[in-house]
Amino acid sequence: MSNEAVADIAVVGLAVMGQNLILNMNDKGFVVCAFNRTVSKVDDFLANEAKGTKIVGAHSLEEMAKKLKRPRRVLLLVKAGSAVDSMIEKMLPYLEKGDIIIDAGNSEYTDTNRRFKELGEKGFLFVGSGISGGEEGARHGPSMMPGGAQEAWPHIKDIFQKVSAKVGSDSCCDWVGEAGAGHFVKMVHNGIEYGDMQLIGEAYNLLKDAVGLNYDEMSVVFDDWNKGELDSYLIQITAEILRFKDDRGQPLVPQIRDTAGQKGTGKWTGIAALTYGIPVTLIGACVLQCFILKLFAEYLCRSRQRQGEGEAVFARCLSSLKSDRITASNVLMGPRTKPEEYVKDKKEFIEHIRRVSH
């Protein structure tokens, strides 16, 4: 591999997010240097997904640094936490003062504040950037939330705004502030998403169990909502998911295990809100239910369990605690009322659900 300084930016971390963001940058005319701790992934990427592009690879951090134009721009997409600190520590001997290090992972904003201060004292420009949109967004246009060393922005602005999603002619990317502001915004963004998904989950539960709608009927309701003030990506995909059928023509949703993980950003939002005295009742309740049920389940495990059957709570923050929910359902009996006893006027009740979801 040539060591000529040809690359506009380097991306460290070749999981799907990293690969897709590199391909997106390449499509927008930027030369990207790809690096991964397991160097065989670099060769695999260049030989397959990146074949025929201008993307270059590096087998070492030293080689990566030599291939970058000045000031060097290095974007990290590695696991949040100690892995970020470890990679930065290994990179620094090959970088110079004024070079730009971008953490685009799901880091906690307090860690970004610390790295911003430590690297700034050494003469490096550190940026913490939230990225929203997942793997598909990384490939075709994410929302990006950079913050940190203001002096870095002119050197990364063109890349970030060209690869990000667009609303009309406006880029879904702008500078949001200093230090950990970028990751703070992403944290709050994720917390709001938790709240939105909680509302959607509760609306689904009411439509299914109180109104008695089937999956196709619920899909029509969410489609209708998406044409009005509830118009959003989450409402749109909920409608699409509810009408999706498997190979046998059966609704897919009830066949999916009702568990989902969380990366901690919802919890961080609640902690930050308490720290700064900001009420985030919906997000906080969503997160706190998780811990309340966990404690309750632990108490039940130490007590004599009674037999019975109950309806598990449909909520994102509780969903990962499947075994605990089952334990709790053996004690906390859900209502046995038939849907028609709940709802006399279905149309009116559905409208009430729509209004409280706004």
Nearest to 171 by CA among 205, 208, 141: 141
User: DSSP letters of 73-92?
Assistant: EEEE-S-SSHHHHHHHHHHG
Is 193 an active-site residue?
yes
- Taking the C-alpha atoms of residue 345 and residue 159, their distance in angstroms, rounded to an integer, is 54
- Taking the C-alpha atoms of residue 30 and residue 305, their distance in angstroms, rounded to an integer, is 62
The first and second tokens of residue 158, run together, are: 């063109």
How far are the Cα atoms of 288, 315, 317, 318, 332 from residue 293, in angstroms, in the given order?
Answer: 9, 12, 10, 8, 11
Is 89 an active-site residue?
no
The residues with which 32 forms a beta bridge, in sequence order, are 9
Q: Which of 193, 202, 217, 311 is catalytic?
A: 193
- Taking the C-alpha atoms of residue 63 and residue 2, their distance in angstroms, rounded to an integer, is 9
Region label for 308, one of left (φ > 0), alpha (ψ between -120 and 50) or beta (otherwise): left
- Taking the C-alpha atoms of residue 196 and residue 201, their distance in angstroms, rounded to an integer, is 9
Cis peptide before 154 (omega within 30 of 0): no
- Taking the C-alpha atoms of residue 262 and residue 102, their distance in angstroms, rounded to an integer, is 24
Q: Which of 41, 186, 208, 267 is catalytic?
A: 186
User: DSSP letters of 182-228?
Assistant: HHHHHHHHHHHHHHHHHHHHHHHHIIIIIS---HHHHHHHHHHHHTT
Q: Active-site positions? A: 186, 193
